[in-house]
Structure 1
Amino acid sequence: MMNPPPSPPPADDSAKGAIRQANEALILAAAERVFAGAGFGGATMASIAEASGLPKANLHYYFGSKQALYRRVLARTLDDWLVPTHGITPEADPRQAIEHYIRAKMALSAQRPHASRVFANELLHGAPVLGELLVAELGPMVREKAAVIQGWIDAGRMAPVDATHLFFTIWASTQTYADFEVQASAVLGTPSLAPEAHARATEHAVSLILRGCGLA
């Protein structure tokens, strides 16, 4: 009697980790699209699974529930928005640091508009899920970076501005191209914002804000 062929060796941890990261990325990208279009109430795990091309069981395996997946989408978006602020340090060049932040935020609006819309919709509903993260992470970050900007102002390295409200201005100037893309497209007479339109908008935002900061 012939022995059965040996079973293939189990995938090593690195391979499993790569598969998990790839699947999570697919799910999160799909969740951004579905939550942006249907809202939290209208979205279902089945519709997100269909959009991701993965079985519904995978969504529950990686994230547990729709609530947990929604929270992860919001937290990831906030984390990605905070990363570009790392360049705002006392020793940095003010013009370069602020320009980098504006360009990074504009790039995120172009690359992941659905994430921005999910975030905006959460805020419009009073941030029932995101509220704690805004207080625990966003608030301290803005205070820390506003203190850096105020230090630049006090040292005469840039024009006097309200260091805290400068962040609100940057957010409004950059996220509008994701949250209200349909409005901008209607005015520009295009079905959507093409890369060249985003490039034009980026240069406008950079120029306007830097001039307001006395850094043109």
Structure 2
Amino acid sequence: MTKPQAKTKTKIQERNSRAILEAGLDVFSAQGFRGATLDQIAEAAGLSKPNLLYYFPSKDAIYLALLEQQLQTWLYPLRAMDPLGDPLAEVMAYVRRKLELSRDFPRESRLFANEILQGAPRLMPEIEGALKRLVEEKSAILTRWMSEGRIARMSPVHLIFAIWAMTQHYADFDVQVRAVLGPGHDPFAEAGSFLEQLFRKLLAP
């Protein structure tokens, strides 16, 4: 009898944890970290505050869990860059995947951007650690491709920065983009075509 009860409890815990994180994402995205409260998150999750605190001991813990989750999602496309692949194809695939993340995870992108604008008080160890190491690893691959004459020579780190800036803009400044474009436009489809053209010209050896 005890095993089925344990399984049921595990499912409930997983469901409630997901509900808290989803509610936290909504509240933090709308109110910012300082404006958000545990009461707001608990209400959005459909849980009591004491029940929420069973899963996460503080507002900071929810916020950090969301940031770490987003960082892993955000870094995956860069990790997927294949050193054995065609250089131009690999860079263009990275650009497309980053733009898709901006389209599919706009709230998460804005949450991450707000953390960086505040000086990354909670994420700095990850940024100086895993993120920096990954950028250095992929920069070395880009440098090798450049030295082989397979893509144009430029700063590999600033190339990565440019990809971040040009793709995340469409999530972080979505309201501005849509207001300027006006109705009848698909910002991400149009951005995909533009960025494809831009980076292909930029990277041509």
**TM-score over 0.5 for the pair:** yes
**Letter of the aligned partner of 1:30 in structure 2?**
A
What residue in structure 2 maps to residue 44 of structure 1?
37
2:120 counterpart of 1:130: no
Query: In 1, Cα distance between the equivalents of 2:10 and 2:189?
Result: 36
Which of 1 and 2 has greater Rg?
1
Distance 1:206 1:25, change over 3 A: farther
Kindly indicate which of the two structures has a greater share of residues assigned to helix: 2
2:191 counterpart of 1:198: no
Deviations 1:192-212 (A, max 9, x none): x97x32222122223212321
Contact 2:178-2:187 within 8 A present in 1 as well: no
In percent, how many aligned pairs have the same letter? Answer: 41
Cα distance, 1:30 vs. partner? 2.2
Structure 1: state its 5+ residue gaps: 1-6
What residue in structure 2 maps to residue 76 of structure 1?
69
Query: In 2, Cα distance between the equivalents of 1:10 and 1:101?
Result: 44
Deviations 1:49-74 (A, max 9, x none): 22233443443222221111111111
Deviations 1:21-41 (A, max 9, x none): 333333222212211221111
TM-score between the two structures when normalised by the length of structure 1: 0.85
What residue in structure 2 maps to residue 139 of structure 1?
132
**Letter of the aligned partner of 1:10 in structure 2?**
P
Contact 1:110-1:177 within 8 A present in 2 as well: yes
**Letter of the aligned partner of 1:141 in structure 2?**
L
Distance 1:29 1:97, change over 3 A: farther
Query: In 1, Cα distance between the equivalents of 2:141 and 2:172?
Result: 29
Q: Secondary structure at the match of 2:71?
A: helix
Contact 1:113-1:178 within 8 A present in 2 as well: yes
Q: Secondary structure at the match of 2:83?
A: coil
What residue in structure 2 maps to residue 10 of structure 1?
4
Cα distance, 1:156 vs. partner? 1.5
What residue in structure 2 maps to residue 161 of structure 1?
154
Decide which of 193, 199, 205 is 1:209's aligned counterpart: 199
TM-score between the two structures when normalised by the length of structure 2: 0.89
Deviations 1:168-206 (A, max 9, x none): 10110111111111111111124xx97x32222122223
Cα distance, 1:96 vs. partner? 2.4
What residue in structure 1 maps to residue 105 of structure 2?
112
What residue in structure 2 maps to residue 27 of structure 1?
20
Aligned Cα RMSD in Å?
A: 2.2
What residue in structure 1 maps to residue 182 of structure 2?
189
Query: In 1, Cα distance between the equivalents of 2:63 and 2:69?
Result: 10
Q: Secondary structure at the match of 1:89?
A: coil
Identify which range, 173-182 or 103-112, moves more after superposition. Answer: 103-112
Structure 2: state its 5+ residue gaps: none
Q: Secondary structure at the match of 1:92?
A: coil
Query: In 2, Cα distance between the equivalents of 1:108 and 1:166?
Result: 18
Distance 1:8 1:143, change over 3 A: closer
